[in-house]
Structures are given as structure tokens and as C-alpha cells.
């Protein structure tokens, strides 16, 4: 049967099992929208293309399926770039279909033309310019295959208008084979055995788990391994939720805003088992002083992640789930067992550290502390909600004070650190799970970066809740300026912020506000009981900072634990 390119796109998405796409129409992509008009494929109309990419990304993170977004050429395509880069940095499988000007006009500075394949080359896992309609179906199949296998990532398919309009006989392959692309799923048995032996021998092991554990669905294996070896588990920001934080073996998040006891445990360990994590600079601090006494086992599906930042002693290339399962098998097969007494001592030591400097903040009866809002949301939702965040202080407070117990319940832009990510990502998650509570915990600065999506949640009556931690500042910027720039608050105070309650109402959503600590819980309860979008404006302590904190580039042992006095601040500046 002969189909047009537009029909091939929609039909291929359906064959791929795609249920919903996020997009925004425009000139050259219109023929595809014309096919969508009568298609069972659901389309969510966002109000800015960046949000389409983030929503597809949020959908992918929440479900584990490939998120799809559809936009037009030129500005439509360039607007998705931030979303694509966000997905790339966090290894999220999305397929982005962009329209392009007709093949004959490419390179002529035509109306709404942008070389999106060139622009996104460094921030996609792969991208395509389809020049012949006969290649369209197989290209889409390849795009889904590449996005979702190996280390996942965004794939962009650019389709010129003449290809969209041309006809071809439609073949949709069941499988594709790409000779140059064969991700390694199974770890090398010799390396796994080496890792098992090192794990048995270690006195003070720490497991350091990242987003890769979530991508490969390796949480059960991780839990089993931790219990089997009595090893404490710390996670990266991207790994939050991959290990239950109510477990006594949980150390929470490590790195720049990790707890003191977590970073101290990492620094004092003699073996680090990294799985699906990439030793980001926000995790390691000063690389030379990262876990100086530890040997490092690194399990990752991407060979280029290994020994990139930190030298690795035992690399294992493979899928986290497969490798962890084999590692458990290998451990069970070994004649030796870890020295239980040593392990108990190690865990006891960590417990002591936890008591010495727990993650905490100064409580207040008069002003709302941001951490208190996060704690209460965590308590009231009891692990059932999907939490998205923006970027900055709120993101870190959520990472510190929210108790995550299951994977795919925390969606946040970790690698790129994209302000404006959380709200559209919440839309994606809510579309995937209409019955679950989805909450974007946002800063007043970040929220305003994609605030226009209030129209989208009202349009589709998506019951997304936005909890704005409103401190009238770009909080993390203000914090850095306070600590490292002598309190010179250069352009971090944001005047002109709208009345969020009125704004929500203007869009047709519900707006609520809390200005005193005792209002927090009732307002949250009320918000959660409303079956529609709600914006909650929490007026919080504007000067609250995220602690502990490792200054950028310092060793993770050098933590600032609490708001320093003026003298200490001066000393910090002198060191810089």
C-alpha cells in the first residue's frame, strides 16, 4: 500500500506502540497534523516547543517508554534543542520529529529553515535527515531502536516537506539491524568475578548508584546486592528512587549537596562500586581527592563513561541489571564471604556519623522553611507521588528531604540543569499516569521559565500540582552570591513576579497560598483533593540556603555545614 510521508510517520508511531505525542504545529509539518486529525494517536498541544521536548522526556522518565515529540522546522526545531540536550545529558529515550523545508530549498536560508541536524549533532545520541520517503519508515524504526537501547538518549528525525508529501510503499520492519551499533549488555565474566572478589575482601565498601540503575530496571538487583554484601548505598541525583531511602543501608544522595555522613562515608571507603553513574563533577568534587583510599569498580553500559573522570580499577561494561544479577551469582558462588563483623562495624560507624551531622535545618514557627514544605509533601504522599523539580535550591531540598522509595518517581534535570524542566515534565508524567499524583516542586524563578504551560494543563485538565517554593529570589544564585561573592546580589532578586494565585485563576486553574508554617499542611491537603491543576504559592524564608555544601572544585570532605559567619565567609573568599 502506498502512503504519504505524513501517513508513514503517524502509522509508524502507532506500530511502535506510541500512545501519545507532544507537539506544536507549524508550516511544513502541517500535512502530518492533517493525518493526526483523524488518527487514534493522542496529541498534547503544548504552548512552547521546549515544553514538548520536556514533556516527552518526563513521559519517558516516568514510564521507561520512548517519549515522542513533533514540531515544525526552524524556530519549532530550535526551540526543542534545550529539551533535547536535557534528555541527552540524562540519557533519556525520546524521539523528536521535526519538519524541514523542502529538500531543494535546504541551505537557501528559506523561511523557517534551520540546520537542526547540524545544531543537535552534539546533543543527540543520533540524528537523521530523511531525504527519500522510501527511507522514512526504516529510519523511524532505527530512531526508536537507537533511542531505547544501550545507553538511552534522544534521537532526532528531520523530515523535509517534500518527503512528508511524497508517496512510498509502506514497509515497517519488525526489527532493524545496524552493523555499527551493538551495545554490550552482558558484562565480561572475568571482570565480574574480579569485582565479586574485591567486594568480599573490602572492609568499608560503598555502592554508588546512578540513573543507569533506573534505566535498566535494576533496583531489585541493587537491593539484593546491598543486603547480600551489607554495603551501604548512596545514589546520585539521577539515581534517587533506585534504592529505597527507608532502608537502613541507604545513605541518600552524595556530592555537592549530599549529607556530611554520606560524603564522609564515600571519602573513607576502601571500595566503591559504581553502577550506572558517571562520576560527575557535582559528585566527585575535586577529582584528585575523591575517595583517595578506595579501589573503584565501575559498571556501565557506555564504555566511554569508564575512566572518563576518575581512574577505574575494575571496569565492567554491560547493562546494570544483567551485570548486577551476574555479580550476585558470582558472590554466591564464591567460597569466601564478606567479614560480617567488619561490615557491621562500618555500618555502625556510618550510623554514628549520621547522628553527629544529620541532614537538618533550623525549624521555625513563624516563617515557612522550604525544607518543611518538602518534608510535608513527602510525608503526605508516602512515596506514591511522582515528583518533578526545576533546578536550583528547590531541586536540592527535594533531593535532601524527600524520601524516595521507588524508581521513576523523581524526575529532574540533573546533567544539563535546565530551569523550566519540571513543569512540562510533570505534564508528561501526568499524561502517562492520569490517576497518580504528580507534583512539580518549583522555585519561583524556574517556574516562570515555562509558566505558559499552565494553559496546557488547563486545556487537558491535567491535575498537575505545582508547589512553588517562593523566596522572591533566584535562590541558588543568591546563595552563591552570599557565600562566594560577598553578598553582592547581582540580578538575583526577581521583582515583578506575578501573583501566582491570581495567575493560576486567570488560566482557569486553582491557586492557593500559604504564608505561615501552620498553613502548609492544610493547603497541601486541599490541593491534593482537587481533581484539576493547582498552583500553590508557598511564601518561604527568602534567605534560606542549601546545606551542607561543597564549594565547586573543592574536595567533598570540605563541606560547609551551616550558614557561615561573616568571618568564615571572608575566609572562604580568601581561599577562592
Q: How many CA atoms lie within 13 A of 544 on its CB side?
A: 27
**Cβ-based nearer residue to another protein, 300 or 376:** 300
Q: In this structure, what C-alpha cell is assigned to residue 49?
A: 516547543
Binding to another protein (CB under 8 A): which residues in 39-68? 39-40
The answer to whether residue 107 forms part of the interface with another protein (CB under 8 A) is no
Binding to another protein (CB under 8 A): which residues in 282-321? 302-304, 307-308
Cβ neighbors of 452 (< 8 A, separation 6 or more) are 47, 48, 51
- b/e map of 100-134 (b: 16 or more CB within 10 Å)? bbbbeebeeebebbbebbebbeebbbbbbbbbebb
* Widest pairwise Cα distance in the chain: 77
The answer to whether residue 11 forms part of the interface with another protein (CB under 8 A) is yes
| CA–CA dist 296, 310 (Å, integer) | 9
The answer to whether residue 169 forms part of the interface with another protein (CB under 8 A) is yes
- Angle in degrees, CA 207, 414, 294, rounded to 5: 25
**Cβ-based nearer residue to another protein, 307 or 452:** 307
**Cβ-based nearer residue to another protein, 121 or 227:** 121
Which of 89, 419, 476, 549 is flagged as catalytic? Answer: 476
| CA–CA dist 371, 369 (Å, integer) | 5
**Binding residue for another protein, selected from 104, 178, 356, 561, defined by CB under 8 A:** 178
Q: In this structure, what C-alpha cell is assigned to residue 571?
A: 575566609
**Cβ-based nearer residue to another protein, 171 or 573:** 171
Nearest approach, Cβ of residue 65 and another protein (Å):
20
463 and 530 Cβ atoms separated by less than 8 Å: yes
Pick the stretch among 8-16, 58-66, 285-293, 335-343 that binds another protein (CB under 8 A): 8-16
Residue 49 appears among annotated catalytic residues: yes
Nearest approach, Cβ of residue 135 and another protein (Å):
6
The answer to whether residue 179 forms part of the interface with another protein (CB under 8 A) is yes
The size of the interface with another protein (CB under 8 A), counted in residues, is 38
Q: How many CA atoms lie within 13 A of 449 on its CB side?
A: 23
Residue 161 appears among annotated catalytic residues: yes
The answer to whether residue 170 forms part of the interface with another protein (CB under 8 A) is yes
Query: What separation in angstroms does the CA of 304 have from each of 151, 317, 404, 508?
Result: 11, 10, 29, 48
Pick the stretch among 55-63, 176-184, 233-241, 355-363 that binds another protein (CB under 8 A): 176-184
| CA–CA dist 453, 105 (Å, integer) | 33
The answer to whether residue 190 forms part of the interface with another protein (CB under 8 A) is no
The answer to whether residue 181 forms part of the interface with another protein (CB under 8 A) is yes
149 and 107 Cβ atoms separated by less than 8 Å: no
Nearest approach, Cβ of residue 179 and another protein (Å):
5
Which residues pair with residue 272 across a beta bridge? Answer: 206, 296
The answer to whether residue 185 forms part of the interface with another protein (CB under 8 A) is no
Residue 162 CB neighbour total at 10 angstroms = 18
**Cβ-based nearer residue to another protein, 66 or 359:** 66
Q: In this structure, what C-alpha cell is assigned to residue 576?
A: 577562592
Cβ neighbors of 573 (< 8 A, separation 6 or more) are 484, 486
The answer to whether residue 180 forms part of the interface with another protein (CB under 8 A) is yes
**Cβ-based nearer residue to another protein, 302 or 342:** 302
Q: In this structure, what C-alpha cell is assigned to residue 269?
A: 571507603
Which of 111, 227, 332, 543 is flagged as catalytic? Answer: 111
Which of 161, 326, 369, 557 is flagged as catalytic? Answer: 161
DSSP-based three-state secondary structure for 464: coil
Q: In this structure, what C-alpha cell is assigned to residue 547?
A: 546545606
The answer to whether residue 177 forms part of the interface with another protein (CB under 8 A) is yes
The answer to whether residue 531 forms part of the interface with another protein (CB under 8 A) is no
Pick the stretch among 179-187, 427-435, 459-467, 491-499 that binds another protein (CB under 8 A): 179-187
Q: H or E segment at 234?
A: strand 233-235
Burial of 570 (0-12, 13-18, 19+ CB in 10 A): exposed
Residue 369 appears among annotated catalytic residues: no
The answer to whether residue 1 forms part of the interface with another protein (CB under 8 A) is yes
**Cβ-based nearer residue to another protein, 173 or 220:** 173
Which of 11, 16, 49, 544 is flagged as catalytic? Answer: 49
Residue 482 CB neighbour total at 10 angstroms = 18
Nearest approach, Cβ of residue 315 and another protein (Å):
11
Binding to another protein (CB under 8 A): which residues in 108-167? 117-118, 121-122, 125-126, 129, 134-135, 137-138, 146
Give the residue numbers annotated as catalytic, written as ranges. 49, 111-112, 161, 476
Give the interface with another protein as residue ranges (CB under 8 A): 1, 3, 7, 11, 14-15, 39-40, 117-118, 121-122, 125-126, 129, 134-135, 137-138, 146, 169-181, 302-304, 307-308
Amino acid at each position: 500500500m502506498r502512503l504519504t510521508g505524513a501517513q508513514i510517520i503517524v502509522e509508524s508511531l502507532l506500530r511502535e506502540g506510541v500512545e501519545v505525542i507532544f507537539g506544536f504545529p507549524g508550516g511544513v509539518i502541517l500535512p502530518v497534523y492533517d493525518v493526526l486529525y483523524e488518527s487514534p494517536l493522542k496529541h498534547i498541544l503544548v504552548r512552547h516547543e521546549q515544553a514538548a521536548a520536556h514533556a516527552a522526556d518526563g513521559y519517558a522518565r516516568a514510564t521507561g517508554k520512548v517519549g515522542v515529540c513533533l514540531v515544525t522546522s526552524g524556530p519549532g526545531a530550535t526551540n526543542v534543542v534545550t529539551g533535547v540536550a536535557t534528555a541527552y545529558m540524562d540519557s533519556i529515550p525520546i524521539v523528536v520529529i521535526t519538519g524541514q523545508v523542502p529538500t531543494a530549498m535546504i541551505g537557501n536560508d528559506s523561511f523557517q529553515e534551520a540546520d537542526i541536524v547540524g545544531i543537535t549533532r552534539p546533543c543527540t545520541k543520533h540524528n537523521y535527515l530523511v531525504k527519500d520517503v522510501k527511507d522514512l519508515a526504516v529510519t523511524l524504526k532505527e530512531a526508536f531502536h537507537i533511542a531505547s537501547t544501550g545507553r538511552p538518549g534522544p534521537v532526532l528525525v528531520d523530515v523535509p516537506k517534500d518527503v512528508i508529501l511524497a508517496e512510498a510503499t509502506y514497509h515497517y520492519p519488525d526489527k532493524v539491524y545496524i552493523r555499527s551499533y551493538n551495545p554490550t549488555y552482558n558484562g565480561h565474566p572475568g571482570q565480574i568475578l574480579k569485582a565479586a572478589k574485591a567486594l568480599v575482601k573490602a572492609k568499608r565498601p560503598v555502592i554508588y548508584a546512578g540513573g543507569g540503575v533506573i534505566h535498566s530496571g535494576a533496583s531489585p538487583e541493587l537491593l539484593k546486592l546491598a543486603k547480600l554484601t551489607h554495603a551501604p548505598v548512596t545514589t546520585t541525583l539521577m539515581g534517587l528512587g533506585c534504592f529505597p531511602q527507608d532502608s537502613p543501608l541507604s545513605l541518600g544522595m552524595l556530592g555537592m549537596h549530599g549529607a556530611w555522613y554520606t560524603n564522609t562515608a564515600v571519602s573513607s571507603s576502601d571500595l566503591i562500586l559504581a553502577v550506572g553513574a558517571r562520576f560527575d563533577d557535582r559528585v566527585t568534587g575535586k577529582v584528585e581527592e575523591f575517595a583517595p583510599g578506595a579501589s573503584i569498580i565501575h559498571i556501565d553500559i557506555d564504555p566511554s563513561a569508564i575512566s572518563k573522570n576518575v581512574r577505574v580499577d575494575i571496569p565492567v561494561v554491560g547493562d546494570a541489571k544483567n551485570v548486577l544479577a551476574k555479580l550476585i551469582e558470582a558472590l554466591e558462588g564464591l567460597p569466601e564471604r564478606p567479614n560480617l563483623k567488619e561490615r557491621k562495624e562500618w555500618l555502625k560507624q556510618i550510623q554514628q556519623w549520621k547522628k553527629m551531622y544529620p541532614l537538618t535545618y533550623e525549624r521555625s514557627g513563624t516563617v515557612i522553611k522550604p525544607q518543611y514544605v518538602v518534608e510535608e509533601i513527602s510525608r503526605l504522599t508516602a512515596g506514591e507521588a511522582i515528583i518533578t523539580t526545576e533546578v536550583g535550591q528547590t531541586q536540592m531540598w527535594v533531593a535532601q528531604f524527600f524520601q524516595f522509595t521507588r524508581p521513576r518517581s523523581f524526575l529532574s534535570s540533573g546533567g544539563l540543569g535546565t530551569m523550566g524542566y519540571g513543569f512540562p515534565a510533570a505534564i508528561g508524567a501526568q499524561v502517562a499516569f492520569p490517576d497518580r499524583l504528580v507534583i512539580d516542586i518549583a522555585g519561583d524563578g524556574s517556574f516562570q521559565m515555562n509558566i505558559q504551560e499552565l494553559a496546557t494543563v488547563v486545556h487537558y485538565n491535567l491535575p498537575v500540582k505545582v508547589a512553588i517554593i517562593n523566596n522572591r529570589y533566584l535562590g541558588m544564585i543568591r546563595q552563591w552570591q552570599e557565600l562566594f561573592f560577598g553578598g553582592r546580589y547581582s540580578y538575583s532578586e526577581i521583582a515583578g513576579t506575578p501573583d501566582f494565585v491570581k495567575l493560576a485563576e486567570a488560566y482557569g486553574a486553582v491557586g492557593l497560598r500559604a504564608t505561615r508554617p501552620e498553613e502548609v499542611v492544610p493547603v497541601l491537603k486541599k490541593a491534593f483533593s482537587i481533581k484539576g491543576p493547582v498552583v500553590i504559592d508557598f511564601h518561604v524564608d527568602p534567605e534560606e540556603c542549601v546545606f551542607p555544601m561543597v564549594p565547586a572544585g573543592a574536595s567533598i570532605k570540605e563541606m560547609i555545614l551551616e550558614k557561615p559567619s561573616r568571618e568564615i565567609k571572608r575566609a572562604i573568599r580568601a581561599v577562592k
